[in-house]
Every structure is written in structure tokens, then in C-alpha cells.
Chains A and B, each alone.
Chain A
């Protein structure tokens, strides 16, 4: 029994080979099509969120200038920007997009184990997106409670969107969680059950490891968000008092008694912190593969990398309250959570070392995906190190709720994962479309994005040091800030608009590639992992033609001594090419 589960159903797959346009591209059960649907939808909402961030930067850089940005709009923009970017773009893109595309191909399977549920997952996700976007158009508009949706303010007057916006937001999240659960069960089960012959767990590429662990985190963490969404809906809809204490709102008593806003925060961050790693772990995995492939060298310390992913995943559940040091929770928790938070820095740092050591004595091709990968290391080091400030409970006292926080989390889970997303798209584009992209255009895209985002976020940390609070519609006059702080904000806005505008290069490149791009070779980077060894490019439905691949080695046999080529694909038997070395490790 065991791993042959999918192989056994070869004939089923032939039978279900889609014939019409509708079954092939719309109601498709092919993981690759679903991946593209997920990816395209995620990028589409991501562009909306990018537009929202441009509006918010306009207000911050040039206050009192744009009449279409009121405080109501502004808070709606920041809320929707944050929620879309974190959940509907990054989570959906890494797991629904890359997870869907890469897992079956990389583990040598024909498809996800439950293709129908996989398709359903996408359409339910699309429904959640539609509900989310609809919230802009209901009376009162979208919620402006901040992406953390903290009660009481999220459902009390004084905040935009407390009539319908918040309800739609919570409903959309609940629907998203359903979609994610359907997808997530698929990803994990496929990794566990549908690997091809010879594909041991430790022969899997790190991309699969990252996505796998991230999905496990998501499956266990998203219920916390669902619980808080349900309880808040009840508080809002029928006036229970789970999160709502007795308050006097604008001089009136809304009739709540005894609830605890802190309880919501615990539930929210019990989801919210693992969420950071739901986004980060796939990025870690993917970037490892990009680095190894383009440096023509095995990823350094593969086992350490796998264990680090597992350790980070486990630890991510015991650090959540570092978001709550100054929330008014029992201050003694600070000792525990500061310690766990700084411990998580150790496996994370090891990953960074191993990426850099992978470059050491490599043979580095600075192609576009590699530029993004190295750019990621730089921004991730920066974002990771600033996390050591905020995770350390004492330093959080002055810096919490300032621009330092905004700069930190954009560096670590905005810019860094997005660089990986672009790197990954450039890397797998030839496989997905069968076409090559424009190298020069790709380089320009990288440089403008990389340098532009650093110009946004490096200075922003310093506004945080100076004490500029986040989520301020306008700073106005203050006693303690130099006037130049506003000038710096204007400069940041200009950088942000520049970066937003340059993303057009990416789309031009993709359109150029699809229409005029040269045909891609099946394995243009001479990579070892299985997705590059498919008989067709792009892979057809069922991926592998008649026979499933068999796996004889790990995914990192680059530059193996004594073999002419500098790469040996995973499906090349040991009788054809040497397998690594007799004894592991270079001591």
C-alpha cells in the first residue's frame, strides 16, 4: 500500500482528462490550473492592496493635500491593505499558488490527492475575496478597525464600517478559512501519501518542506481566527459579551457587561503569530531552492534547514503574546514570551547562515531569480534583526505602536516574501508557461523594487525611534518631533509610489514573454528537482505521461565530484550517475 495511492489511479486520471475549455481552465481539477487561478486572484487583490497603500502614503507624505482621503477612508485603507496583503495575497499565493503548483510536481505525484476538493478550495477562496471586496460598497463602507480588528473599537461607533463592513470582513475571513482548510488538507495529505517511489521525506526539496510545515501551522492556527471571528460576530450581532466589557461609548451605554478585549487579542495572535511563519516558511523553502540551483551548489546544511523549519514551526505557537507586551495583559507573561521569542531567533539565524554559506564556493549565476533570492537575504537579515528589538520586551516599550513596528514587519513579511514571490515566479515561469521572460526587464524590475523598498523602510525605522506613532491620519504639530520628520515622510512616500509604479515592469515582462518570449527549454536552469524533469513543458494534465518518476537521490546533487554535468536530476539512478559521496559531511 502506501505511496502508490495515486499511481494506482492512473487510469482514472486519463479518464478525467479535461476536454472542454470550461473543464480545462475554469472548473479545472488540475493542480497546475488551480495554482494559476489562486496565483492570479491573489496578485489581483494584491494590486488593490498596493493601490490602497499608495493612497495611504499620499496622505502621510503630503497631509492636507488630497481631498479624497478622509480619516474614514484612511483607516479603511490601512485595514484592508493589511488584511489583503497578509491573508488574501501572501497566504493564498504561497500555499494556494506555489503550494498547489509545486507540491505534486516536486514529490512526483500526478495531482493533489483530492482534486475535486482542491478545485472547491479555489472557488471558496474566490468567494471570500468577493465578500471582502463587497465590503467597500456596503453602507458605511469597509471596516476601518485596523487589520487586527481589536474590539471594542472594531464594532463600536467611532470607527468606520461598524455596521456592515466588519460583518463582511469577519464573514470573508470565515469563508477564507474554510477554503484554506480544504486546500491545506490536500497539501499535507499529498506530501504524506502521494510521494513517488524513492521520495523519502529527506529527499524532498526545501520548498516542499516549507510549504508543508506552513500548511500544518495554518491548519492548527486558523481555527483561532475562526473562533474569534464567530465570537465577535455574536458580540456584534446579538450583543453577547465575550469580548465586550461594560463601557460608555460617546456618552451612551451600549449594554455590554464583563467581557475581555484581551481575550480577543490572545485568540487573534494565537493565529496571528503562526501566520507570520505561514508566510515565511514557504519563502524560506523556496529561496533555499533558488539559491542552491543558481549557485550550482547543494544547499548547505540541508538537515539543519529541515529541522530549523520544524523548530520554527513548533516555536511559532509559543511566542504569540510578544505582540501584546504593552496590551495590558499580565506583565509577568513578558518574561516568558520575550525568552521564547528570542529563542526562535536561533533557528532563524541558522537558516540565514546556511543560505549565505550555500553561496560560499558556489558558482553563482546572477540570473533574475538569484538576484531576488540574494535581495531577500539582505532584506530578511534586516527585518529579522529588527525583530530582535521588538521581541525583547523592554525595547518594545518605546518602540511598540510606532513606525519602527511598521518598518520591521514590512521588511520581514512584506518586502522579503514578495521578493521571494517574484524570484519564484521568474524561476518557475519557464516551466509554468513554456516561455522565457525578458532578462534585462527582469533585472530592472529587481533593482527598482529592491532599492526602492529599502529606501522606504530603512528611514521608517528612524521615525519610529523618534516616536512617530503608527496609524495616525496626520501628525499635526508636536512638541517632540523635528519638522524634518515630515520631510522624511514625504521622501518615503515618493519611494513608495516609485516602487508601486515599477511593478508595471513585471507585468510588461510577463505579457511580453507570453506573446513574444522565446520558447523555454524543459529545464533551463539545469535543476535537479523533479518538476524540471517532466516529459512536457508546461506539464500536461497528470504531469508525468505514462510512468510516474522514481526518485534516487536528494534534490541537491549539484556539482557532484566525479561527474561531468554539474547537476544530477533526482530521477537519475545511481547506476548512471554517482549519488553524492560515500560519507556525509565535509569535515
Chain B
């Protein structure tokens, strides 16, 4: 449980640290200079849009989720019957594809924020294709494992492999839904999608990071 505990603790500690910074010196009952509201003091915590705050929180939830699975992975690994899995080589290709998808999204996002809306259509299309290719690649990797007799019930390492990659793919599918909405809007002629694309990009980078940690964990064990 150490992994989950440490990661959750770090997230919680950063929130608590921030909260304490806000609260430690406050004496809310002490008089302010009459009716003026000191704007600088009453700024909202982040000069960010609510959606970005919500996404950050959501990523914290997903981090906690995967961290706890990694904890379970580490605990389960020590129980004697663990047979290390030889990951299909295809996963390396998939990794590269997912990295490219992230890069493509970042390129699109940079275009959106600098007003270079010509990047939107090709960028979104390429991102979508690369991401779909990643998912397809993962699916092929599953097929390869199964056809070589590696089933979820054969060994916990394989069960974890299928579960982790499956859950990761589900999260990507969720992102694809938002991507699809943005893309439909762009191809429908609406180019005011900067926020949506920014949020998607962050999410893509995050899921890439999750994948890299996950893949690294599986490779090293």
C-alpha cells in the first residue's frame, strides 16, 4: 500500500499546504480597512477557469485510482505464485504512437492558443488517428497474448496486464469522447475551442504519463 499511500499523501499534502498558507495568518474577525475589498487578497485560489480546476481534481482522482492499483500490483507480486510477464514487443510501438498523439495534440493546442486556427483540423484529425491506432495496437497486443495462451486466469501478472491496459484504454475512450465533441465543432466551422483543446491536451499528456509509469512497472517486474 506504500505506493498508493505516498502518492495520495503527496497530493493531499500539496492541498493541505496550500490551504494552510491561506489560513495560517488569517484572523477573520479582525477589522479590515472599512468597505474596500482588497482585490489582491480575495483572488480566487487559481487564476484559472473552473474547468481547469475541475480537470486537475479529476486527474488527482485518476492518479489515486491508478496508484492504488499499482499498490495492489506491488503487494500481489510478493505472494509467491507471480510469473513475470514477457510483454509483447508491439507495446513499444504503441508507446511511440501514444507519444506522437500527445505531441500532435500539443501542436494543435499551440495553434489554438496562438490563433493559428489552420492547425485545428489536421491536428485534431491526426491526434484522433494516432490515438485510435494506439487503442487498436493495444487490442492486437491482447490478441497476441491470448493466442499464445496467456489468459487472465493464468497468472496474476497477466491479470494485472489486462486489467491495467483495459482501464487505461477506458480512460482514453473517455477522452476520445471529448475529443470527438471538439472535433465535430471544429469541422462544423466553430473555431472557439481553445479551452476544450487545452483540457484535452492536458488529459492526453496525463494518460501518456500513466501509460509510461504503467509500462515501466510491467517491464521492470
Binding site for B on A (CB under 8 A): 1-3, 5, 113-114, 181, 184-186, 188-189, 192-195, 197-203, 216, 219-224, 226-227, 230-231, 234, 238-242, 257-260, 263, 266-267, 270, 298, 302-303, 306-307, 310, 313-314, 317-318, 550, 552-554, 556-557, 573-575, 578-585
- The residue among A224, A317, A584 with the most chain B CB atoms within 10 A of its own CB is A224
Leading 5 A-B pairs by shortest Cβ distance: A258-B81, A580-B29, A2-B44, A554-B28, A223-B65
**B12-A220 in contact (CB<8A):** yes
Contacts of A222 in B (CB 8 A): 61
Q: Is B32 an interface residue (CB 8 A)?
A: yes
Q: How far is the CB of A75 from chain B (nearest CB, A)?
A: 27
Q: How far is the CB of A234 from chain B (nearest CB, A)?
A: 7
- Residue of A189, A201, A575 near B35 (CB, 8 A) is A575
**How far is B48's CA from A312's CA once the two chains are assembled, in angstroms?**
28
**B28-A200 in contact (CB<8A):** yes
Q: How far is the CB of A530 from chain B (nearest CB, A)?
A: 14
Contacts of A202 in B (CB 8 A): 22-23, 26, 28
**B32-A192 in contact (CB<8A):** no
**A581-B50 in contact (CB<8A):** no
Can you name 21 A-B pairs with beta carbons within 8 Å?
Answer: A1-B48, A3-B43, A113-B50, A185-B61, A193-B53, A200-B41, A220-B8, A220-B61, A226-B65, A230-B163, A263-B72, A310-B16, A310-B20, A313-B16, A317-B5, A318-B5, A553-B29, A554-B29, A575-B34, A581-B30, A582-B31
**A113-B54 in contact (CB<8A):** yes
Q: Is B186 an interface residue (CB 8 A)?
A: no
19 further interface pairs, Cβ-Cβ under 8 Å (given A114-B54, A580-B31, A584-B29): A1-B47, A3-B43, A5-B49, A185-B57, A193-B50, A193-B53, A194-B50, A226-B65, A240-B152, A240-B153, A241-B153, A258-B80, A260-B79, A267-B68, A270-B1, A306-B23, A307-B23, A552-B37, A579-B29
**A314-B12 in contact (CB<8A):** yes
Question: Given A242-B76, A317-B8: A583 and B30 within 8 A (CB)?
Answer: yes
Q: Which of B17-66 contact A (CB under 8 A)?
A: 19-20, 22-23, 26-32, 34-35, 37, 41-50, 53-54, 57-58, 60-62, 64-65
Q: Is B217 an interface residue (CB 8 A)?
A: no
**How far is B54's CA from A307's CA once the two chains are assembled, in angstroms?**
24
Q: How far is the CB of A50 from chain B (nearest CB, A)?
A: 32
Q: Is B156 an interface residue (CB 8 A)?
A: yes
Contacts of B129 in A (CB 8 A): none
Contacts of A203 in B (CB 8 A): 28
Q: How far is the CB of B49 from chain A (nearest CB, A)?
A: 7
- The residue among B28, B41, B46 with the most chain A CB atoms within 10 A of its own CB is B28
**How far is B32's CA from A581's CA once the two chains are assembled, in angstroms?**
10
Contacts of A307 in B (CB 8 A): 20, 23
**How far is B218's CA from A12's CA once the two chains are assembled, in angstroms?**
49
- Residue of B4, B29, B60 near A298 (CB, 8 A) is B29
Contacts of A230 in B (CB 8 A): 163, 167
**How far is B74's CA from A211's CA once the two chains are assembled, in angstroms?**
33
**How far is B29's CA from A185's CA once the two chains are assembled, in angstroms?**
30
**A231-B28 in contact (CB<8A):** no
Contacts of A553 in B (CB 8 A): 28-29
**B29-A266 in contact (CB<8A):** no
Q: How far is the CB of A368 from chain B (nearest CB, A)?
A: 28
Q: Taking CB as reference atom, which chain A residue is nearest B55?
A: A185
**B50-A5 in contact (CB<8A):** yes
Contacts of A184 in B (CB 8 A): 57
**A223-B61 in contact (CB<8A):** yes
Q: How far is the CB of A293 from chain B (nearest CB, A)?
A: 16
Q: How far is the CB of B184 from chain A (nearest CB, A)?
A: 18
Q: Is B178 an interface residue (CB 8 A)?
A: no
**How far is B65's CA from A224's CA once the two chains are assembled, in angstroms?**
6
Contacts of B81 in A (CB 8 A): 241, 257-258
**A3-B29 in contact (CB<8A):** no
**B153-A574 in contact (CB<8A):** no
Q: How far is the CB of B37 from chain A (nearest CB, A)?
A: 5
**A581-B29 in contact (CB<8A):** yes
**How far is B90's CA from A176's CA once the two chains are assembled, in angstroms?**
36
Q: How far is the CB of A269 from chain B (nearest CB, A)?
A: 10
Contacts of B26 in A (CB 8 A): 200-202, 303
Q: Taking CB as reference atom, which chain A residue is nearest B19?
A: A310
Q: Taking CB as reference atom, which chain A residue is nearest B22?
A: A201
**How far is B32's CA from A201's CA once the two chains are assembled, in angstroms?**
15
Contacts of A556 in B (CB 8 A): 29
**A258-B27 in contact (CB<8A):** no
Q: Taking CB as reference atom, which chain B residue is nearest A560?
A: B29
**B44-A584 in contact (CB<8A):** no
**How far is B111's CA from A302's CA once the two chains are assembled, in angstroms?**
49
